[in-house]
Structure 1
Amino acid sequence: MSTKTIILILICLTFHPLLGGSQGLPRFNNNTDQESLLVFKSRITDDPLGVLETWNPSSSLCNWTSVNCNVTKQRVTSINLENLGLVGTIAPHIGNLSFLSYLNLQNNSFSGSLPQEIGQLFRLRTLILASNRIRGTIPASLSLCSKLSYLDLSINILEGTIPNELGALSELEDVSFMQNFLTGPIPSSFGNLSSLSNLILRSNSLKGPIPEGLGRLPFLINLQIGLNNISGEIPCSLFNSSSLIVIAMAVNRLTGTLPRDTFTNQTSLTTFFVGGNLLSGRIPPSIGNASSLTRVDLANNSFSGQIPWLGNLPNIQILSLQSNQLVNDGAGGMDFLASLANSTQLQVFSVAENQLTGKLPSSIGNLSRQLSLLVMNNNFFHGSLPGEISNLVNLTLIAFEHNSLTGTILPSIGTLPNLQYIFLHENKFSGKVPESLGNLTYLAEVHLSNNLLEGTIPSSLGNCQRLQLLDLSVNLLNGTIPGDIFGIPGLGKVLNLSFNSLSGFVPSEVGDLNMVQAIDLASNQLSGDIPVTIGDCSSLLYLNMSRNSFQGSIPNSLDKLKAIEYIDLSSNNLTGNISASLESLKFLQVLNLSRNQLSGEVPKGGIFENSTAVSLSGNLKLCGGVPNLGLPKCDSHEKKSGGSKLKIVLAATFASVAFIIIVSMLVFWLVRKKDSDLRAVNEKANSPEMYPMCRQHDLKLATRNFSPEYMIGEGSFGSVYKGVFEDGSLAAIKVFKMGQHGASKSFIAECEALRSIRHRNLVKIISVCSAGDFKALVLKFMPNGNLEQLLHPRIEDCEVEKVVDMNQRLKIAQDVALALEYLHHDCESPVVHCDLKPSNVLLDEEMSAHVGDFGLARILLKNSPNAHLSISVGLKGSIGYMAPEYGMGAGVSTRGDVYSFGILILEMFTRKRPIDHLFSGDMDLQKWVSMHLPDHIYDIVDNELKAKEWQAEHADGMARILNIGLMCARKSPEERPTMREVSVMIKKCLV
């Protein structure tokens, strides 16, 4: 026997637990256990509760806290250190505890990798390491723990593939690897785990098909593989399993159809989640016989055909079929509603966004009395809303908007005691607004706009003390506005009564709405004075009282609306002067006083400095103001008494001056026109990329007459189309909605901003088209869309997956930072973008970022001491990205853009919008990120980053970029860095 062979045998005898003896081998005695635990303790860098203080040689290890021993052999059999806040790494010496059967380190901050030596624990039955920071791969040596029955490695930073060797663990019952960064397929060997009952793999980046063998496991009851990239068809074997209770596969890339007998053998199935996939075909009729089902989600797929009979689902609680292509044509198309009469536990039912037509049957009233949410919007229903809906006494929300329903809104709707949300807008309802709505004490939102409702507004709505939003706009309502409405204390969102035929005065009680954010009374027949009490609406951001018959003066109390953003009092009969107190409204973006009878001198400060933000046309007696308003100068000479001679002299003098002025103006106009023409020629000559001026006809041809198929985006003031010109060149064509108030100013602002700025990371303007009421910008086409589409793709846009790794995101962040640095520091006058958000970051063919949409941009004039007070950013489309100081009346500044950039950075790397449902109360995106840094950064990083490339060293880089985002998004503008400083910091992250 060779020396080499003898050495190998000795090694096996030393380290193999079944072959080694107990004499002379240190790993098989009590001392070895003690030494191993002391090494384990030495790797703990923080023990906040002092739990491990008892772990010292002065006492028996069997008396140590959280350690249990075998009574006879005094060997360690169990360690439970769950939820103690421990920080450190797992020492490989853990593998020396050869009698260990239970190890629980859940909910601590263990980092590092999972040691291979853990595979030496041949007696181990339970291993729980969930909610830590463990990195690296799952060691294949775990397959040597042949007694293992419970394995939980969830919520860590594990990557790589799931070892195929784990399929050899014949006693394994529970496996959870959820919320890691695992890639690759689900091992086919898992089909051999004959004892498996729970397999939870959700929230990873697993791909490939579902192993056929999983459906043949006799004890598998819980299969959760949602939020991965699993593709292919669902194996038929799963549908033949009689043991499965939960099948959760939502938000993957599953394709194919569900067999007709999908639910035939599913006698125990309670949960079936496959929403957010690419499934098609018909919904299997066998679903109606799966009597154990409690939750079904088939939403956001491409299911077609009719909804089957659902008559044997007595336990169903949630049934979501929305966002598919379901129809109900032919006889019995609505029978599915009647078939749910026996589903007495149903709480949520949605068939929204399908292709359902016809009348709603009275059988809708036979649905469960437990039903809370009834959602049928965005279909093609017509006819009346059945009165039987009042049988559903536990409804909290009804949504039938965007249909073609007619008839009256039945008074019986007011008998639903728990109703909170009514969505009936965009229909053809007629008749009166039911008085009975005043009985709904929990009512929070009423959406009845765009119907044919007539009569008066019921004063009983004043009883709805929890009402937050009331929208009755675009109807045929008449009469006066009841004062009771203004007594609703909770009306804090919107009061919209515009585009009706309301008359009379606005009650002084309007001032009681000190929480409301928007009041729109436009296009009615209201008269009288604008109440002085309107200034008491201290939270008001939007006020529109245009196109009425208001008279009297503009109340000075408007200067109390410190947060107001938009005021439109145009097309009334207002008289008197414009109060200089309006100059103090630092947050005001739009002030429209046109088509009134105002007189006197126009103020020059505040918003009045910006001629594009103020509309004064049609007020023939106004004078003064800033020159750009184009108003005549005010006559400031004092009247003097005197004889006729003096009068003649004055008259002659006046005539001479007038003549001189006229001649001077003519000369000035000619000179200015010449300079303007010369400047235009020079600008065109200095811009070789400038296209010829486009005609409206050319743009129509390029977009197929602005076909919806060519639309690639839509905003508050315009729609963006992909344009394909005759020579094959591409462009993005932004067409402004000139009927939308503020669109004209947005067009002018964008032209003004883009006229004099040039930077590789700003969107390039190619041409302008201005033909009457048609205004459009022709911009460079960006084939990769915008950052919003990349971070939050819609299901219908996900045919081709765009994976953006960490370096690409850093490069996008740097591009945006460079663009803002140029705007803030390198332009002749600083430019504030005012609306930075993902949808305004465009991506070219090389994924380089270009900042666009300058419709709200403001130029800060360096020579004007009050320029920073001139105007502030608007709220529309920017909630969550807008700097907090703007909401307190502060003027526009470059630090506001820095804040928006900080939020953008946090969103890019966490894929969480600042208005995500996670953030409510005191919790916001910044606080959420800060809470997880630095120890739990893996919990917040975008799963796509973790799945595709996460390495241990990435944590530090990710922490650096997130900290930059937090610095930029500080609440106090003085504490934020400049964009020049930010650019330097991001550049270091790329090194």
Structure 2
Amino acid sequence: MSTKTIILILICLTFHPLLGGSQGLPRFNNNTDQESLLVFKSRITDDPLGVLETWNPSSSLCNWTSVNCNVTKQRVTSINLENLGLVGTIAPHIGNLSFLSYLNLQNNSFSGSLPQEIGQLFRLRTLILASNRIRGTIPASLSLCSKLSYLDLSINILEGTIPNELGALSELEDVSFMQNFLTGPIPSSFGNLSSLSNLILRSNSLKGPIPEGLGRLPFLINLQIGLNNISGEIPCSLFNSSSLIVIAMAVNRLTGTLPRDTFTNQTSLTTFFVGGNLLSGRIPPSIGNASSLTRVDLANNSFSGQIPWLGNLPNIQILSLQSNQLVNDGAGGMDFLASLANSTQLQVFSVAENQLTGKLPSSIGNLSRQLSLLVMNNNFFHGSLPGEISNLVNLTLIAFEHNSLTGTILPSIGTLPNLQYIFLHENKFSGKVPESLGNLTYLAEVHLSNNLLEGTIPSSLGNCQRLQLLDLSVNLLNGTIPGDIFGIPGLGKVLNLSFNSLSGFVPSEVGDLNMVQAIDLASNQLSGDIPVTIGDCSSLLYLNMSRNSFQGSIPNSLDKLKAIEYIDLSSNNLTGNISASLESLKFLQVLNLSRNQLSGEVPKGGIFENSTAVSLSGNLKLCGGVPNLGLPKCDSHEKKSGGSKLKIVLAATFASVAFIIIVSMLVFWLVRKKDSDLRAVNEKANSPEMYPMCRQHDLKLATRNFSPEYMIGEGSFGSVYKGVFEDGSLAAIKVFKMGQHGASKSFIAECEALRSIRHRNLVKIISVCSAGDFKALVLKFMPNGNLEQLLHPRIEDCEVEKVVDMNQRLKIAQDVALALEYLHHDCESPVVHCDLKPSNVLLDEEMSAHVGDFGLARILLKNSPNAHLSISVGLKGSIGYMAPAMQNMAWVRGSQREAMSTVLEY
């Protein structure tokens, strides 16, 4: 080697930043790692568990929580922050941790994009960012992490294509991008990932063909690409792979047929999901010999021909062949049922929605005793339902609807102890509804409509306390409706007894069905009055009592059905007026009162404004209403008479009101003169007995069933929603999480604290709701949120940050101080809040402060030598927060000064 060459090499080693001496290298060291982690921490906007509190320069970064270091060089090698509820973004400085080999941020709320700088982590082996809110594209720079073996970016908001450059990661073993918004094809370069064992890309919008090279990967055992738009035929190489254990590519646009030897070489295959595609042809007969199969889904394709022999599937648990064009023509067409007798692990079996015919063989009773779901609906079976089905003691669901089955429903069906769902509708069953159904304590839904069933409805159904849906419509049932049915507390979906020959009255117990959403009693021979108690069915959306012989008036209690959308009372013998209270039903879309004997003036508000939604034909004595209804005008004499009556009523009302006002003023003057203590009057006026109780249903309507869109806050013991009531008024509705330990005590404490206090700077309680396990407080709505939001607004929650000047801060501090002074000194028994912090200081429309959230409050006994124990027993307040005044008993006496210091400090 020449002297000139040696000199050039020495120059390169000296000055080149990657080859030469220390002066050319980036100065990445222990200090760099610390600075990078501190920047990473600064991007965290919420650390609910306080995990990152140890991340500070006062201690060695190798002692920080969730951080591991190299022992000799003290460099960061591992960061594990999964399942901590962190909120923030991933700082690009993460790329400076040059010794990092493991990074796990799974199941947090990281947002923003994945920084390109992550490609600088050339020692990184594991990257787990699943279950966050990361947006943007997958950076191609990840391909520079040449040691990467585990990559999980699933359950995020990633979009764009999968970088083809990732195919260069020769050590990559596990890849998961599932549940994102990725588009484009599966990179053909993935066929070069010779170490790949798991590829999970399901639930995206990928398209294009499946790369042929995937089937030649020697270690690939798990391929999941379902729920995409992948098209084309399945590569033959996948069927020749002996390593694959899971092939899941359901719900795509795959076409073509499956080769006869599809399962011949699949000695390890356990899961084969190709349902929901465009596959056709016959089911490969080799499936019957794939002894390792545990789950097979060929549903929702266009497979045709007969179902092959399935006799060598000892481990099969799920077998779904439904929604195809399978037949059973000729001899042995149903032998597949008998061949499954050896499949003792079978739990789910479906051949629904095919073209199977003939009688169901008794061999159906030889299926696995583990069988839970037996689904054979929408075929052309006839004959009776084999009694041998009672051998399948673990059945939870049987579905034979939409066939032509005849005979009786055998009483032995009531011996299946775990049965929850019965689907036998749209057949030709006759005889009676078995009394034995009452033995099925787990029964949830019974569908027996559109048959030829006769006799009475068995009262034993009242024993099925978990029943949610009962449909016996379109049969030949007679007799009365058993009152026991209306005593089923869980009947919350549908009660449909329409199109039978039922007679008698509707029991008043119908009002006990406060969970039911639909009641259909149409086309029977029912009579008597419509029970007033039907207004107690507070969850009702659909009510049809048409084509019966009901009489009397329309009950005024119908206006209590605040969520009702459909009412049909047509073709009865109803009389009287149409109550104007029906105008208040804001969600009502259809009201059919035709062919009755109603009379009087038709209301004009609410649903009556829409003539297409209201049917009143056949009521010859009705008048008025909106012009589009086409009814005659009401008699003028009646109007005059009615007008004079109205004047008399108004005059009497006016006189009564005037009298009450005068008496009230006199009483108020006497009370004020006798007792000048305004605060005592306020306390008495706000006693709990004065609070009106509200219904859970009303709160559901006000919050659209406690929609997340209406949530304005959440704490340890409850969530706060913005409620919009029917009259347009607003309120804050605090719903307690009764399943949370301590929530019940918090509710009691808050009620106890607020029962005898009233001050303009305390949150006003409007109403309470206590129904079983549901507890809620209805409070005055504060449109300007809380002090925490005002002082530290999140960028994503507001467009313009509000500026709080010193005058406003002083005013808020003064309001809080006045509230605390009142609580500590002017109540009958002093009240200690125990959780005073900015988020519990609420601001009204005039920016006046109100102290709220008394869930941890304590009431001190006056003149008790042990009063201080009420404060000192146990730590009170929020995790990570301690009010300055909690340090000593000066809190009780220095309320104003410390409240000011708390507000000004923030």
Of stretches 141-150 and 344-353 in structure 1, the one that deviates more from structure 2 is: 141-150
Whether the 8 Å contact between 2:810 and 2:900 is mirrored in structure 1 is: no
SS in 1 for 2:713: strand
Q: Distance in 2 between matches of 1:845 and 1:650?
A: 37
SS in 1 for 2:570: coil
Q: CA deviation at 1:576?
A: 5.5
**Change in CA separation of 1:347 and 1:576 when aligned onto 2, cut-off 3 Å:** same
**Change in CA separation of 1:657 and 1:495 when aligned onto 2, cut-off 3 Å:** closer
Of stretches 459-468 and 93-102 in structure 1, the one that deviates more from structure 2 is: 93-102
**Change in CA separation of 1:206 and 1:677 when aligned onto 2, cut-off 3 Å:** farther
**Change in CA separation of 1:243 and 1:760 when aligned onto 2, cut-off 3 Å:** farther
Whether the 8 Å contact between 2:809 and 2:903 is mirrored in structure 1 is: no
SS in 2 for 1:639: helix
SS in 2 for 1:800: coil
**Change in CA separation of 1:752 and 1:25 when aligned onto 2, cut-off 3 Å:** closer
Q: Distance in 2 between matches of 1:177 and 1:645?
A: 75
Whether the 8 Å contact between 1:594 and 1:616 is mirrored in structure 2 is: yes
SS in 1 for 2:23: coil
Whether the 8 Å contact between 2:813 and 2:899 is mirrored in structure 1 is: no
Q: Distance in 1 between matches of 2:348 and 2:42?
A: 53
* Residues 820-854 of structure 1, C-alpha deviations (whole Å, 9 max, x = no match): 99999999999999999999999999999999999
Whether the 8 Å contact between 2:18 and 2:24 is mirrored in structure 1 is: no
* Residues 465-514 of structure 1, C-alpha deviations (whole Å, 9 max, x = no match): 22222221211222332333233233333222222222333334434434
Query: What's the C-alpha RMSD, in Å, of the aligned pairs?
Result: 19.6
Whether the 8 Å contact between 1:589 and 1:873 is mirrored in structure 2 is: no
* Residues 328-354 of structure 1, C-alpha deviations (whole Å, 9 max, x = no match): 222222222222222222222222222
Q: CA deviation at 1:207?
A: 2.7
Q: CA deviation at 1:423?
A: 1.6
Whether the 8 Å contact between 1:173 and 1:198 is mirrored in structure 2 is: yes
Whether the 8 Å contact between 1:295 and 1:317 is mirrored in structure 2 is: yes
SS in 1 for 2:563: coil
Q: CA deviation at 1:523?
A: 2.1
Aligned residues: 903
Q: CA deviation at 1:94?
A: 4.9
Q: CA deviation at 1:637?
A: 6.7
Give the corresponding residue for 1:943. Answer: none
Q: Distance in 1 between matches of 2:141 and 2:22?
A: 24
Q: CA deviation at 1:703?
A: 45
SS in 2 for 1:344: coil
Q: CA deviation at 1:400?
A: 1.7
Of stretches 478-487 and 80-89 in structure 1, the one that deviates more from structure 2 is: 80-89
Of stretches 7-16 and 629-638 in structure 1, the one that deviates more from structure 2 is: 7-16
Q: CA deviation at 1:817?
A: 48
SS in 2 for 1:809: helix
Q: CA deviation at 1:431?
A: 1.6
Whether the 8 Å contact between 1:711 and 1:721 is mirrored in structure 2 is: yes
Q: Distance in 2 between matches of 1:69 and 1:607?
A: 70
**Change in CA separation of 1:757 and 1:216 when aligned onto 2, cut-off 3 Å:** farther
Q: Distance in 2 between matches of 1:431 and 1:460?
A: 17
Whether the 8 Å contact between 1:200 and 1:222 is mirrored in structure 2 is: yes
SS in 2 for 1:719: strand
* Residues 315-373 of structure 1, C-alpha deviations (whole Å, 9 max, x = no match): 22222222222222222222222222222222222222222222222222222222222
Q: CA deviation at 1:82?
A: 3.8
* Residues 426-457 of structure 1, C-alpha deviations (whole Å, 9 max, x = no match): 11212221121121222222211111112222
Q: CA deviation at 1:292?
A: 2.0
**Change in CA separation of 1:927 and 1:27 when aligned onto 2, cut-off 3 Å:** farther
Alignment pair present for 1:385 and 2:348 = no
Alignment pair present for 1:960 and 2:902 = yes
Q: Distance in 1 between matches of 2:722 and 2:110?
A: 51
**Change in CA separation of 1:77 and 1:330 when aligned onto 2, cut-off 3 Å:** same
Of stretches 801-810 and 340-349 in structure 1, the one that deviates more from structure 2 is: 801-810
**Change in CA separation of 1:319 and 1:57 when aligned onto 2, cut-off 3 Å:** same
Q: Distance in 2 between matches of 1:489 and 1:350?
A: 32
Whether the 8 Å contact between 1:716 and 1:876 is mirrored in structure 2 is: no
Q: Distance in 2 between matches of 1:729 and 1:643?
A: 32
Whether the 8 Å contact between 1:734 and 1:776 is mirrored in structure 2 is: yes
Q: Distance in 2 between matches of 1:782 and 1:165?
A: 54
Q: Distance in 2 between matches of 1:233 and 1:722?
A: 53
Whether the 8 Å contact between 2:227 and 2:249 is mirrored in structure 1 is: yes
Q: Distance in 2 between matches of 1:747 and 1:618?
A: 54
Whether the 8 Å contact between 1:589 and 1:872 is mirrored in structure 2 is: no
* Residues 646-685 of structure 1, C-alpha deviations (whole Å, 9 max, x = no match): 9999999999999999999999999999999999999999
Q: CA deviation at 1:116?
A: 5.1
Q: CA deviation at 1:229?
A: 2.5
Q: CA deviation at 1:249?
A: 1.2
**Change in CA separation of 1:124 and 1:639 when aligned onto 2, cut-off 3 Å:** closer
Q: CA deviation at 1:170?
A: 3.1
Whether the 8 Å contact between 1:230 and 1:253 is mirrored in structure 2 is: yes
Of stretches 649-658 and 477-486 in structure 1, the one that deviates more from structure 2 is: 649-658
Whether the 8 Å contact between 1:589 and 1:871 is mirrored in structure 2 is: no
Of stretches 5-14 and 609-618 in structure 1, the one that deviates more from structure 2 is: 5-14
Whether the 8 Å contact between 1:276 and 1:795 is mirrored in structure 2 is: no
In structure 1, runs of 5+ residues without a counterpart are 885-922, 930-950, 963-991
Q: CA deviation at 1:214?
A: 2.0
SS in 2 for 1:637: helix
* Residues 554-585 of structure 1, C-alpha deviations (whole Å, 9 max, x = no match): 55555555554444343334456666666666
Whether the 8 Å contact between 1:612 and 1:749 is mirrored in structure 2 is: no
Q: Distance in 2 between matches of 1:740 and 1:268?
A: 46
Q: CA deviation at 1:694?
A: 55
* TM-score, normalised via structure 1 length: 0.59
**Change in CA separation of 1:261 and 1:177 when aligned onto 2, cut-off 3 Å:** same
**Change in CA separation of 1:634 and 1:802 when aligned onto 2, cut-off 3 Å:** same
Q: CA deviation at 1:815?
A: 48
Q: Distance in 1 between matches of 2:306 and 2:144?
A: 52
Whether the 8 Å contact between 2:514 and 2:536 is mirrored in structure 1 is: yes
SS in 2 for 1:689: helix
* TM-score, normalised via structure 2 length: 0.64
Give the corresponding residue for 2:636. Answer: 636
* Residues 48-106 of structure 1, C-alpha deviations (whole Å, 9 max, x = no match): 66655655666555444444333334444333344455566656665555444333344
**Change in CA separation of 1:652 and 1:251 when aligned onto 2, cut-off 3 Å:** closer
Whether the 8 Å contact between 1:586 and 1:870 is mirrored in structure 2 is: no
* Residues 942-961 of structure 1, C-alpha deviations (whole Å, 9 max, x = no match): xxxxxxxxx99999999999
**Change in CA separation of 1:454 and 1:514 when aligned onto 2, cut-off 3 Å:** same
**Change in CA separation of 1:879 and 1:567 when aligned onto 2, cut-off 3 Å:** farther
Q: Distance in 2 between matches of 1:694 and 1:60?
A: 57
Q: Distance in 2 between matches of 1:175 and 1:338?
A: 41
- Residues 276-315 of structure 1 aligned to structure 2 (within 5 Å): 276-315=276-315
In structure 2, runs of 5+ residues without a counterpart are none
Give the corresponding residue for 1:941. Answer: none
**Change in CA separation of 1:636 and 1:29 when aligned onto 2, cut-off 3 Å:** closer
SS in 1 for 2:675: helix
* Residues 149-197 of structure 1, C-alpha deviations (whole Å, 9 max, x = no match): 2233334454444344433433322222333444433333333333222
**Change in CA separation of 1:94 and 1:577 when aligned onto 2, cut-off 3 Å:** closer
Q: Distance in 2 between matches of 1:324 and 1:956?
A: 75
Alignment pair present for 1:859 and 2:801 = no
Q: Distance in 1 between matches of 2:193 and 2:93?
A: 29
* Residues 202-252 of structure 1, C-alpha deviations (whole Å, 9 max, x = no match): 233333322222222222211122222322221222222222111111222
By relative contact order (CA 8 Å, sep 6+), the higher-ranking structure is: 1
* Residues 764-790 of structure 1, C-alpha deviations (whole Å, 9 max, x = no match): 999999999999999999999999999
Give the corresponding residue for 2:777. Answer: 777
* Residues 922-962 of structure 1, C-alpha deviations (whole Å, 9 max, x = no match): x9999999xxxxxxxxxxxxxxxxxxxxx999999999999
**Change in CA separation of 1:232 and 1:875 when aligned onto 2, cut-off 3 Å:** farther
* Residues 785-833 of structure 1, C-alpha deviations (whole Å, 9 max, x = no match): 9999999999999999999999999999999999999999999999999
Q: Distance in 1 between matches of 2:750 and 2:69?
A: 75
Q: Distance in 2 between matches of 1:704 and 1:159?
A: 32
Q: Distance in 1 between matches of 2:353 and 2:491?
A: 30
Q: CA deviation at 1:876?
A: 50
**Change in CA separation of 1:598 and 1:632 when aligned onto 2, cut-off 3 Å:** same
* Residues 902-923 of structure 1, C-alpha deviations (whole Å, 9 max, x = no match): xxxxxxxxxxxxxxxxxxxxx9
Q: CA deviation at 1:127?
A: 2.9
Q: Distance in 2 between matches of 1:352 and 1:440?
A: 25
Of stretches 794-803 and 369-378 in structure 1, the one that deviates more from structure 2 is: 794-803
**Change in CA separation of 1:543 and 1:850 when aligned onto 2, cut-off 3 Å:** farther
Of stretches 504-513 and 305-314 in structure 1, the one that deviates more from structure 2 is: 504-513
Whether the 8 Å contact between 1:481 and 1:506 is mirrored in structure 2 is: yes
Q: Distance in 1 between matches of 2:215 and 2:74?
A: 44
Q: Distance in 1 between matches of 2:792 and 2:321?
A: 22
Of stretches 162-171 and 247-256 in structure 1, the one that deviates more from structure 2 is: 162-171
Q: CA deviation at 1:398?
A: 1.7
